[in-house]
Amino acid sequence: MVVISVGLIAVLQRLGVQTTSIIAVLGAASLAVGLAMQGTLSNVAAGVLLLMLRPYRVGDLVRIGDATGVVQRLDLFTTQLTDADNVKIVAPNSQVLGDVILNISGQATRRVAIDFTVSYSADLNEAREVIRSTAAAHGKVLGDTPVWTGVTGLLDSAVQITLHAHVLSGDWWQTRADLFQTIKEALDQAGIEIPFPQAVEYFGGNVGKAAELDQSPPDALLPSKGQ
């Protein structure tokens, strides 16, 4: 195409046609095409690198920037995801390669981490054992990695106990939901209180005196001085 354009301009010059404006138009058009192709070429280069490095594969659950979904397709230009609401997400490969890629299902197993709170008056060793044994008894919790519990915080109105348990990546969501329910029920059955935030209203000494003055009888009810 370039050779044909140069030859056509040379012929026009031999015929006496002023080609300066034509050359300027062709130069501007070439610049515009080059700028337009810059993003496309960067996407192609990023797509080749993604295909070579394989940070994720079709079927993996990934988080790219603010988007989380299952990879449906990876080509030279874009990566296509489907999120939990079955919404199709199309991301340019150059943006994908330049962002942090979190491959959620990239490992065979995942750790479930859940924080529970118990009352300050509760027996912490008993509470930890109830949480640990309930989690270990779940059929999806892997037995090759021990279930761990520990006190991880002293909050305003409760003591925080954290649970760590390992499951297969595909079982993570449902097992986490199951553990929330079964451990809450086990704590209730053991008589271990799960406190909730409470607000205490405090009146200072001056406020109490003002309240007493407000409750004094009006002047019309007081006995007169002559009585």
The DSSP line for 138-197 is STTS-SSS--EEEEEEE-SS-EEEEEEEEEEGGGHHHHHHHHHHHHHHHHHHTT------
Residue 117 clears pLDDT 80, i.e. is over it: yes
User: Structure tokens of 158?
Assistant: 């409760």
Select from 176, 192, 72 the least CA-distant residue to 125: 192
Encoded tokens for 98: 């330049």
Q: From CA 156, how far away is CA 162, in angstroms rounded? A: 16
- Burial class, 126, CB count within 10 angstroms (exposed 0-12 / middle 13-18 / buried 19+): middle
pTM for this one? 0.68
| pLDDT tops 50 at residue 77 | yes
**What local confidence, expressed as pLDDT, does residue 96 receive?**
93
For the chain, the maximum distance between any two Cα atoms, rounded to a whole number of angstroms, is 132
127: pLDDT confidence band, cut at 50, 70 and 90?
very high
- Quick: pLDDT tens for 3-58: 555 555 555 455 554 556 555 555 555 545 454 445 677 888 888 889 888 999 99
Provide the percentage of residues in the chain whose pLDDT is more than 70.
70
Distance CA 140, CA 120 (A): 31
What is the overall mean pLDDT for the chain?
82
> Which of 169, 180, 174 lies closest to 142 in space, CA to CA?
169
pLDDT in tens, 139-178: 999 999 999 999 999 998 999 999 999 999 999 999 999 9
Distance from C-alpha of 165 to C-alpha of 145, rounded to nearest angstrom: 8
One-character DSSP codes across 13-30: HHTT---HHHHHHHHHHH
Domains of the chain: 1-106 (2.30.30.60), 109-189 (3.30.70.100)
For 147, how many CA atoms within 13 A lie in the half-sphere containing its CB?
A: 23
pLDDT of residue 138: 97
Residue 123 makes CB contacts below 8 A (sequence gap 6+) with 192
Closest CA to 101 of 62, 159, 136: 62
